[in-house]
Structure 1
Amino acid sequence: MKIKEIISHLEAMAPLAYAEDFDNVGLLAGNAEAEATGVLVCHDALETVIDEAIAKKCNMVVCFHPILFSGLKKITGKTYVEWSVIKAIKNDIAIYAVHTALDNHKEGVNKIMCNALGLNNTKVLVPKDNFITKLVTYTIPENAVKLRNALFDAGAGQIGNYENCSFNSQGIGTYQGNAGSDPVMGNVGEFVEAKEVKIEVTFEKHLEGKILKALFQNHIYEEVAYELYGLKNSHQNIGLGMTGEFEVPMDEMQFLGLVRDKMQTGGIRHTAFTGKKIKKVAVLGGSGAFAIKNAIASGADAYLTADLKYHNFYEAEGKLLLADIGHYESERYTKNYIVDYLTKKMPNFAIILSEENTNPVKYF
């Protein structure tokens, strides 16, 4: 198996287009055409993890956090990032990062947190904007069903929990082919009026190439008339953070105890108790101070995230219980999810969970 085949599974799990613009995801080092000997899945691709990959004969490391984030101008071995990259390159080890591509996935980091805590009725907390494109095209009635189904098969027409969604209307199309034309209906130079079906579908913008290929391959016309529009609608199934609900509400102390045990945190920093029962919870793995207002707007009784600064705690304004459970802790089960996913896709290939604890924060 080549590394590029493993990458195809990873990109199906966490499409690179889902990642935030500031992020650096995908293949960070290595040759995608190389034969893979094994995959080591970790949280951070530190030098100790590269050593572990060498010892376990894995020439691909799949990490959550990208070891290369803001770029390198020099590679001299003076920083922990440079040490890791140098050792990986010397030993022909590929490094692939998923990070916010998996953060934004509806089954990704935040759903994993919700599952660990036993939360139900999950919804995305901060839906992704400017991610939906609309296609409008026109064809004759005899071609409409075939064309529409091909667009569905390519990924168009997915809206929330519904698929194969489209809008179809009928009208009259006109055309007149010149001397170089080869019209499907009518003759060269003839003015034609024909019944047409207008088909409208939406799709995630990264699927545009696939959608247009399906359009051109299945459309009956010599010249395909189509329009593409970028929509401002938020994508309800892609985005950062998530909300969920407990079946049975609990008091705040009981809730924090559950969080401590399930997320295995060494300590929780939190705001003063509000006195409310905890029923609805918002979560956002990693640094989530920016979404405090979203958590409040969602009606959550508590918000779990990490990397909160002193003044961030004031932003709760007594409206919810705000808790910082630690960056690593909030994402701790992500690597297990990746291992399980790849193992199901490649049951006869070596997918290994790293034994290295790369959390740089220690508790006394």
Structure 2
Amino acid sequence: MIIKDVTNYLEKLAPLNYAEDFDNVGLLVGNYNTTVTGVLVTLDTLEETIDEAIANKCNLIISFHPIIFGGLKKLNGNSYVERVVLKAIKNDIAIYATHTALDNSKNGVSAKMCEVLGLENYKILIPKKGIIKKLTTYVPLTNADELRAALFSANAGNIGNYDNCSFNTDGIGTYKGNEDSNPTLGEKGKNHSEKETQISVIFESKNKASILKALQKNHPYEEVAYEIVTTENVHQNIGMGMIGELPTAMNEIEFLLYLKKTMKTDCVRHSNFINKKIKKVAVLGGSGSFAISNAKRAGADAYVSADFKYHEFFKAENKILLADIGHYESEQFTKNLLVDYLTKKFSNFAVILSEKSTNPIYYI
């Protein structure tokens, strides 16, 4: 197995195009063609993480957070980031990060929080925009069925619980090839009219390459006319955060104590009590203050995330219980998620869960 085999499988769970624009995901250090001797899964990559990988004979680290976030202008060991990268390179250890690609996955970070908390019937809190594209092309009537089938096979035309979806309009296409052309229908240098079908299909952006390949391979024309646009549709199965329900409603103190125990945190910072039962709960791993209004609009009784600032607790406005359990604590079970996922696929090398806590925050 080479690194590319592992990352290709991992990207079925967390496609890189799911990541936010500000993020830095994918293979940060190393070569995709390197043979894998073992995989170490961690939340963060620190110098001690590299040591752990060396001790376990792992030459690939799958890290949730990217060690390289902004640009590196120098590599002389003056910061912990530079020292980690230098040590990884020196010891031929590759580093791959998933971060917001996994955050936006239906079965990613927030889904794991729901699982740990025992939430039921959970769904995406903030469906992601910009993922749904639309392809429109034009093909001779006699070739329309064949081309549509090829596009569907390449994962075009999937809408929620439906597949093989398209919109079709028949019309007349016109063209005239120059002396270097080789038209499939008609003659070069002469105006030609052809009965054609306009086919429109939507698709996830991650499938763009395979869909264009299917289009070019199965379209009869020498020059294929098509256009791709980004739609305003949101993808209900891709996005940040989750919202679900507790099996049994709890009062606020019961819920916070349950949260503290289940999420293994030494501190829960919370907003003022609102004297209501907690049944519907929204969660979001990592820094989640941006989604407070989304949790309120979704009717959540409580919102569990991390890194809330002082003034952001006022946004509860006596309508929701805000609970900050800590950044590391909200994402800590992500390692287990990744190990379980990779172990199901790969048995010819070790997939090891890092035993090191990389939490930089301590409580007294």
What range describes the TM-score normalised by the shorter chain of this pair?
over 0.9
Q: Which moved more, 1:17-26 or 1:240-249?
A: 240-249
Q: Deviations over 1:97-142 (max 9, x none)?
A: 1111100111111111112112222222222222222111122233
Alpha-carbon distance between aligned partners in 1 of 2:32 and 2:73, rounded to the nearest angstrom: 23
Task: Give the counterpart letter for 1:312 in structure 2.
Answer: E
Residue 154 of structure 1, CA deviation: 1.9
What amino acid maps onto 1:293 in structure 2? S
1:65 aligns with: 65
Matched AA of 1:287: S
Cross-structure match for 2:112: 112
Which TM-score applies when normalising by structure 1? Answer: 0.94
The aligned counterpart of 1:266 is 266
**Could you tell me which residue of structure 2 aligns to residue 39 of structure 1?**
39
RMSD between aligned residues: 1.8
C-alpha distance in 1 between matches for 2:247 and 2:171: 51
Specify the alignment match of 2:76 in structure 1. Answer: 76
The answer (yes or no) to whether the contact 2:125–2:295 under 8 Å persists in 1 is yes
Q: Is the 8 A contact 1:343 1:349 kept in 2?
A: no
Aligned to 1:324: 324
State the distance in 2 between where 1:151 and 1:39 align. Answer: 36
Percent of aligned positions that are identical: 60
1:179-258 matched pairs, under 5 angstroms: 179-188=179-188, 191-258=191-258
Return closer, same or farther for 1:73/1:191 CA change in 2, 3 Å cut-off. Answer: closer
Mapped partners of 2:196, 2:149: distance in 1: 17
Residue 14 of structure 2 aligns with an amino acid whose one-letter code is A
Q: 2-side partners of 1:341 and 1:87: how far apart?
A: 28
Question: Is the alpha carbon distance of 1:32 and 1:176 closer, same or farther for their aligned partners in structure 2, counting shifts above 3 Å?
Answer: closer
Q: Say which SS state the counterpart of residue 139 (structure 1) adopts.
A: strand
| Partners of 1:42 and 1:62 within 8 A in 2 | yes
Per the alignment, residue 172 of structure 1 pairs with 172
Q: Distance in 2 between matches of 1:218 and 1:162?
A: 23
Tell me if structure 1 keeps the 8 A contact 2:36–2:349. no
- From the superposition, tell whether residues 249 and 141 of structure 1 become closer, same or farther in structure 2 (CA, over 3 Å): farther
Deviation at 1:190, TM superposition (A): 5.3
Instruction: Give me the whole-angstrom Cα distance separating, in 2, the residues matched to 1:274 and 1:163.
Output: 45
Distance 2:121 2:240 in 1: 16
For 2:264, the aligned partner's letter is Q
* Aligned-partner SS, 1:65: coil
Aligned residues: 364
- CA contact under 8 A between 1:172 and 1:196: conserved in structure 2? yes
Classify the secondary structure of the residue corresponding to 1:125. Answer: strand
Give 5+ residue unaligned stretches, structure 2: none
The equivalent residue for 1:149 is 149
| 1:122-172 deviation per Cα after TM superposition (whole angstroms, max 9, x unaligned) | 222222222222111122233222211221222222223333222123233
Match of 1:139 in 2: 139
1:179 shift after superposition? 4.3
C-alpha distance in 2 between matches for 1:196 and 1:122: 45
- Structure 2 residue aligned with 1:309: 309
Partner of 1:353: 353
Give the aligned partner of residue 23 of structure 1.
23
- Counterpart CA distance in 1 for 2:345 and 2:165 is 29
Amino acid at match of 1:211: I
CA contact (8 A) 2:305 2:330 kept: yes
8 Å CA contact 2:133, 2:231 repeated in 1: yes
Distance 1:4 1:253, change over 3 A: same
Counterpart Cα distance in 2 of 1:95 and 1:251: 44
* 1-structure distance, mates of 2:5, 2:287: 32
Give 5+ residue unaligned stretches, structure 1: none
Deviation digits for residues 171-209 of structure 1 (CA, Å, limit 9, x no counterpart): 333344454443333444555444322211112234322
Distance 1:278 1:219, change over 3 A: same
Runs of 4+ in 1 over 6 A off after TM superposition: none
> What residue number does 1:121 align with?
121
* Partner Cα separation in structure 1 for residue 170 and residue 246 of structure 2: 48
